[in-house]
Amino acid sequence: MIRWLLDLVVTLAFIYWHRSRERPALRLVPRSATPVKRIVPARTGLVAVLVSRPAMEQRVLRALGEFTTLRFTKTWAELQEVVMRRPPSAILADPLADGSGDAQATLARFSHLWRIPVVLYTHLSPECAHILTGLGQSGIRHVIFWRFDDDADRFVEVVPWERDEPPLHAA
């Protein structure tokens, strides 16, 4: 337990040091103390979801299920197939969900090349820290941490409901 905590502290210190040297690329927005009036969007679009735990799937379903169509996937290949079949308005993904694919390259391609908004939904762990810093460089701006800031309002807040243009597809 102490070794894990030490790994976590070292990882967070590395992230802080790395961010202090460069322009911040991945920004976490702290929740405000005042209650925010929830704006209920109309049911539109498609959100593709790849998460590592069934509890995370349930949290996403409860938060966004009444607002949009959700497509849950189990692998990076399956997620790419969903995106190719019908471009989603957003992607919710856990970089640690499937060890068989290259999470960083896949998410960077979706975000940077195809211009699909990607929201990372992951659990806070030392393994995730390196991936998060790399993905900040590819245009991903929102991270939701499981069991920390994953209430329904946060999910509704980060999904781009006003997207009027379809995402651009690379050939």
Render pLDDT for 102-132 as a digit per residue (tens, 0 to 9).
Answer: 888 888 888 888 888 889 898 888 777 777 7
107 touches 119 (CB < 8 A): no
Overall average pLDDT of the 67-71 stretch: 88
Give the pLDDT score at 23: 53
- Which residue bears the tokens 């009027």? 164
Using 50, 70 and 90 to split pLDDT, how confident is the model at 171?
very low
Q: Binning pLDDT at 50, 70 and 90, where does residue 71 land?
A: very high
* Biggest CA pair distance of the chain: 49
The domain made up of 2-26+44-158 is a member of CATH 1.20.1090.10: no
pTM over 0.85: no
Q: Which of 139, 109, 103, 108 is nearest to 122 (CA)?
A: 103
Q: How high is the pLDDT of residue 34?
A: 54
Q: Rounded to whole angstroms, how far apart are CA atoms 10 and 165? A: 42
Q: What are phi and psi of 93, to 5 degrees?
A: -140, 145
